[in-house]
């Protein structure tokens, strides 16, 4: 590809390279640079890619795109924002595959993963579409699962994935759009047919300076969407609407003025049922995923799919056959009359939601096993401590992904928010031991919620991911109990 074609729609400050030069690839990590590449120097939070320009040149980079002039004689292109340039260069390099498909973006603190899975299921069931999915659990091309490292991949990898999905016959892409990806320009250059806002609660305040900054990041999605679907029961919905340059469709349980409302809610141990009311239309909805939050997820999904050409009846029929998502209120087998749930509730609001959901149908105690991740938002730790010990009958405070922090120091910060008596909780830093304690001391009718890890099958300690699958841990503990 010619350099000029790769730079199309990228604002260039200075051009110190031949626009007609041939570029064979794009790299932003000098370790993976190949001869003939355009090396893009990104300024990161930890390291500055400009430091690695000499290494990229040594690897054979044909030219450099950067925010500061490099030393030496290497041809270079000077831009104001190399992150944005990387996204647009990726789009150009792979031929704008997103422009050939219907793009659906989902943002919010909680509910993104379930929302993407349900939209995929409806579009495949009702329209016969082949749908690509990009998210926290995994990436999918139709039924094929691909592993993923982050909610939204880096922009160049994202564009490569789009091309693979389009070449595989995908007509629609539904993807989680994180606040990080919006701020760091990973989704720059993508136009979304529908953007969905689920909710906003405290999370990622290690990255965003406050909740207003967090909300402003999320709202960026609606400036690049053709249709906005908003949860109008959430206090941050007006912030999202203010950024929308498109029609806005609102869904709600409480807001009587919403375009789509849920009435006559039934919350059951095995799912939810309600009437979806949209104008003069009324349709019974049944979804086999329990919890009031599942009603909100369903409403957001229906709202988006109505915009994409699926009838209300078609949405209802598809949702009736939808299955839950791994690590989201996931039941695992036990050896007695108690229940173990695995859930990815790692934020205060998510933990509150899952514990309240369990409370609605639990005949015994609600037992919460939870912790907080290291090197992440420390402000939420005492809040998690208060919620976990107030809403559970008994809490076991343990490790999540400690990363580079001391697990006991994280637990100490969680405990500063605990107001319950000491008979209501125990701290066990080792997560396997914490799960063992919960199972060993269960009572009939208990529901044990293993919160925080969800779909993850590892625990990250000092930059190393150690295998840890809670399904396997539970099975091993139950097997040992059987042998005693």
Predicted pLDDT of residue 36: 97
Element holding 471 (H helix, E strand): helix 470-483
Burial class (CB in 10 A: 0-12, 13-18, 19+), 241: middle
**Confidence band for 179, pLDDT divided at 50, 70 and 90:** confident
Angle between helix 292-307 and 348-359 (nearest 10): 110
User: What does the pLDDT look like over 288-326, one tens digit per residue?
Assistant: 888 888 999 999 999 999 999 999 999 999 999 998 888
User: What does the pLDDT look like over 112-145, one tens digit per residue?
Assistant: 999 999 999 999 999 999 999 999 888 999 999 9
User: What does the pLDDT look like over 353-372, one tens digit per residue?
Assistant: 899 989 988 889 999 999 99
What DSSP designation does 137 have?
A: S
Q: Are 91 and 108 within 8 A, CB to CB?
A: no
- For the segment 437-441, the average pLDDT, to the nearest whole number, is 97
**Which of the residue ranges 41-45, 94-98, 335-339 has the most confident prediction, judged by mean pLDDT?**
94-98
Asked if residue 204 has pLDDT above 60, the reply is: no
Q: In whole angstroms, what is the distance from residue 409 CA to residue 371 CA?
A: 11
What are 255's two structure tokens? 């807001």
Predicted pLDDT of residue 246: 96
**Confidence band for 109, pLDDT divided at 50, 70 and 90:** confident
Q: From residue 352, how far is each of 4, 311, 390 by CA, in Å?
A: 52, 33, 10
| Residue percentage of the chain with pLDDT more than 70 | 98
Predicted pLDDT of residue 393: 97
Asked if residue 349 has pLDDT above 90, the reply is: no
Query: What is the strand order of the sheet 131-134 is part of?
Result: 144-146, 139-141, 131-134, 172-176, 102-107, 194-197, 228-231, 248-252, 260-268, 271-278, 281-287
Asked if residue 67 has pLDDT above 70, the reply is: yes
- Lowest-pLDDT range of 60-64, 124-128, 145-149, 348-352: 145-149
Q: From residue 94, how far is each of 6, 91, 137, 217, 325 by CA, in Å?
A: 10, 6, 25, 27, 31
Predicted pLDDT of residue 362: 87
**Which of the residue ranges 106-110, 203-207, 448-452 has the most confident prediction, judged by mean pLDDT?**
448-452
What DSSP designation does 245 have?
A: -
What are 329's two structure tokens? 């209120």
Beta-carbon contacts of residue 291 (< 8 Å; ≥ 6 apart): 267, 272, 329, 353, 354, 357
Burial class (CB in 10 A: 0-12, 13-18, 19+), 463: exposed
Half-sphere CA count of 109, side-chain side, radius 13 A: 22
Predicted pLDDT of residue 209: 65
Element holding 113 (H helix, E strand): helix 112-127
Positive or negative torsion for Cα 70, 76, 79, 82 = negative
Contacts 24+ apart (CB under 8 A), 202-205: 202/109, 202/347, 202/348, 202/349, 202/377, 202/379, 202/380, 202/383, 203/109, 203/346, 203/347, 203/377, 203/380, 204/179, 204/180, 204/376, 204/377, 205/377, 205/379, 205/380
Asked if residue 94 has pLDDT above 90, the reply is: yes
Predicted pLDDT of residue 78: 97
Asked if residue 382 has pLDDT above 80, the reply is: yes
Predicted pLDDT of residue 207: 58
Asked if residue 271 has pLDDT above 90, the reply is: no
**Confidence band for 46, pLDDT divided at 50, 70 and 90:** confident
**Confidence band for 482, pLDDT divided at 50, 70 and 90:** confident
- Lowest-pLDDT range of 10-19, 122-131, 328-337: 328-337
**Confidence band for 427, pLDDT divided at 50, 70 and 90:** very high
- For the segment 222-232, the average pLDDT, to the nearest whole number, is 98
Mean model confidence pLDDT for the chain: 94
| Residue percentage of the chain with pLDDT more than 90 | 83
Between 483 and 24, name the one with better pLDDT.
24
CB atoms within 10 A of CB 73: 8
Q: From residue 303, how far is each of 133, 224, 245, 249 by CA, in Å?
A: 18, 18, 18, 7
Predicted pLDDT of residue 234: 95
**Confidence band for 203, pLDDT divided at 50, 70 and 90:** low
Asked if residue 148 has pLDDT above 90, the reply is: no
Q: Are 149 and 188 within 8 A, CB to CB?
A: no
Asked if residue 150 has pLDDT above 90, the reply is: no
Q: In whole angstroms, what is the distance from residue 300 CA to residue 249 CA?
A: 10
Predicted pLDDT of residue 268: 82
- For the segment 192-211, the average pLDDT, to the nearest whole number, is 78
Beta-carbon contacts of residue 58 (< 8 Å; ≥ 6 apart): none
What are 104's two structure tokens? 């659906």
- Lowest-pLDDT range of 211-215, 380-384, 387-391: 211-215
Asked if residue 45 has pLDDT above 60, the reply is: yes
């Amino acid at each position: 590809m010619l350099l000029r074609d790769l730079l199309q729609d990228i604002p260039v400050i200075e051009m110190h390279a031949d626009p007609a030069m041939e570029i064979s690839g794009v790299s932003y990590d000098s370790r993976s640079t190949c001869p003939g590449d355009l090396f893009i120097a990104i300024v990161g939070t930890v390291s500055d890619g400009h430091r690695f320009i000499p290494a990229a040149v040594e690897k054979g980079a044909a030219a450099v795109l950067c925010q500061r002039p490099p030393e030496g004689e290497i041809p270079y292109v000077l831009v104001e924002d190399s992150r944005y340039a990387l996204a647009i260069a990726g789009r150009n390099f792979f031929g704008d595959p997103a422009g050939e498909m219907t793009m659906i973006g989902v943002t919010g603190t909680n509910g993104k993963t379930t929302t993407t899975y349900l939209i995929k299921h409806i579009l495949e069931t009702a329209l016969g579409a082949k749908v690509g999915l990009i998210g926290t659990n995994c990436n999918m091309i139709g039924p094929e699962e691909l592993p993923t490292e982050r909610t939204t991949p880096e922009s160049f990898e994202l564009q490569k994935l789009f091309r693979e999905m389009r070449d595989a016959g995908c007509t629609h892409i539904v993807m989680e759009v994180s606040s990080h990806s919006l701020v760091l320009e990973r989704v720059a250059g993508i136009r979304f047919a529908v953007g969905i806002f689920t909710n906003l609660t405290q999370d990622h305040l290690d990255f965003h300076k406050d909740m207003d900054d967090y909300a402003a990041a999320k709202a960026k999605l609606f400036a690049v969407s053709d249709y906005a679907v908003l949860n109008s029961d959430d206090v941050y919905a007006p912030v999202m609407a203010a950024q929308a340059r498109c029609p806005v469709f609102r869904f709600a349980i409480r807001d009587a003025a919403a375009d789509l409302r849920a009435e006559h809610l039934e919350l059951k141990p095995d799912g939810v049922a309600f009437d979806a009311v949209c104008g003069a239309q009324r349709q019974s909805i049944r979804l086999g995923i329990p919890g009031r939050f599942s009603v909100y997820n369903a409403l957001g999904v229906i709202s988006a799919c109505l915009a994409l050409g699926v009838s209300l009846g078609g949405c209802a029929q598809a949702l009736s056959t939808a299955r839950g998502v791994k690590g989201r209120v996931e039941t695992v087998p036990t050896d007695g009359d108690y229940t173990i749930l695995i859930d990815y509730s790692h934020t205060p609001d998510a933990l509150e939601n899952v514990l309240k959901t369990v409370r609605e149908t639990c005949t015994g105690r609600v037992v919460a096993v939870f912790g907080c991740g290291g090197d992440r938002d420390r402000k939420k730790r005492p809040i998690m401590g208060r919620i976990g010990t107030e809403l559970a009958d008994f809490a076991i405070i343990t490790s999540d992904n400690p990363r580079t922090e001391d697990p006991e120091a994280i637990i100490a910060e969680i405990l500063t928010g605990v107001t319950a008596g000491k008979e209501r909780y125990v701290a066990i830093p080792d997560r396997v031991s914490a799960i063992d304690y919960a199972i060993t001391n269960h009572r009939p009718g208990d529901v044990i919620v293993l919160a925080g890890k969800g779909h993850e099958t590892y625990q990250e300690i000092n930059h190393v991911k150690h295998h840890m699958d809670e399904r396997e841990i539970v099975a091993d503990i139950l097997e040992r109990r059987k042998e005693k």
